[in-house]
Structure 1
């Protein structure tokens, strides 16, 4: 399964690199979609983690123990705004 995810991610990256080279309009569209996708993913993930912690409903299985990891929480809190800033800056740089 990990192999499929890795190959899919690599093929997707190659496809996006190819598409971005087509024109400035396509590049801007892809960057805009990336901002929307990032915001959607981050908001859903962050609100789910916060609700789970606030409601004290963390089930201590191998998968759910990550929700109580201070490293996971701090990393997500930093990478969310940081990644969004990079995506928006990239989008704005292409417009000017």
Structure 2
């Protein structure tokens, strides 16, 4: 499973870069999904932390339960791939 995750971190951004070069509209699509993901990711994190503070339930299990939210995990994973994708774009533009 660890190898699959590492390979995915390398392969998906390269595939995104390939799509960007093939179809210009895919870059707009990737950017829009990144903005939506950032809003959802930030909202889930901030609302969860706020609720933990309001409930005065600052336990590690309560705080880490945020990581069990599937939407949080999906948006965070996309943002991680998107950052690698953008770094690849910058790298190729600078060279």
- Name the residue aligned to 2:48: 48
- Name the residue aligned to 2:36: 36
Structure 1 residue runs without a partner (length 5+): 68-96
Q: CA deviation at 1:5?
A: 2.7
- Larger fraction in helix: 2
Query: Number of matched residues?
Result: 66
- 1:18 and 1:31 mapped to 2: Cα distance? 15
Deviations 1:47-92 (A, max 9, x none): 112211221112235x947x9xxxxxxxxxxxxxxxxxxxxxxxxx
In structure 1, the residue corresponding to 2:57 is in which secondary structure?
Answer: coil
- 2:26 and 2:20 mapped to 1: Cα distance? 6
Distance change (3 Å), C-alpha of 1:20 and 1:47? same
- Which structure's relative contact order is higher, taking Cα pairs within 8 Å and 6+ residues apart? 2
| TM-score normalised by length of structure 1 | 0.53
- 2:23 and 2:60 mapped to 1: Cα distance? 49
